[in-house]
Amino acid sequence: MIGRLNHVAIAVKDLTAATDVYKKALGAVVTEPLPQPEHGVTVVFVTLPNTKIEFLEPLGDASPIAKFLEKNPDGGIHHICYEVDDILAARDTLKAQGARVLGDGNPKIGAHGKPVLFLHPKDFCGTLTELEQV
């Protein structure tokens, strides 16, 4: 079921500071900030040869990453995302094994315009896990 690592998402309070580190210290190519009001975040993508890093900065009052940043004021890894061929089949297989799917259990369109689901960190080694159908 599980495919490639699509991205690692890092939540930060300040996108400019974060992307400066990646640009200057690591020589990475980063995109311009992309506000995603429907997800409560502004996103910057860093494309690496084998995967992507996504920096997330809170957007709006009810950002889903606000609480995470309260606990992790310096920022931190927020979730990882694996690719799957068939997100509904993956969801049903995981649910049948007791895994908890967040939200209403239906895929939403994610930052890349593809269907995504989030799985409860307690069921996946303490790590919020996203599935993306590619």
Would you name the residues annotated as active-site residues?
130
Per CB under 5 A, which region of 9-17, 18-26, 32-40, 61-69 contacts Co ion? Answer: 9-17
The minimum distance between CB 8 and Co ion, in angstroms, equals: 9
Count of residues of this chain found to bind Co ion when the rule CB under 5 A is applied: 3
**Which of 9, 59, 87, 131 is in the footprint of Co ion by CB under 5 A?**
9
Q: Rounded distance, CA 86 to CA 130, Å?
A: 13
Q: Rounded distance, CA 134 to CA 114, Å?
A: 7
CA atoms lying within 13 Å on the CB side of residue 130? 23
Q: What letter does residue 19 receive in the DSSP assignment?
A: H
57 touches Co ion (CB under 5 A): no
**Which of 10, 130, 131, 133 is in the footprint of Co ion by CB under 5 A?**
130
Q: Rounded distance, CA 33 to CA 14, Å?
A: 11
Which residues are bridge partners to 132 per DSSP?
83, 116
Q: Of how many residues is the chain composed?
A: 134
15 touches Co ion (CB under 5 A): no
Q: Rounded distance, CA 73 to CA 64, Å?
A: 15
The minimum distance between CB 22 and Co ion, in angstroms, equals: 17
Under rule CB under 5 A, which residues in 68-87 are in contact with Co ion?
81
Per CB under 5 A, which region of 5-13, 17-25, 41-49, 94-102 contacts Co ion? Answer: 5-13
Q: Rounded distance, CA 41 to CA 19, Å?
A: 15
56 touches Co ion (CB under 5 A): no
Applying CB under 5 A, the residues found at the interface with Co ion are 9, 81, 130
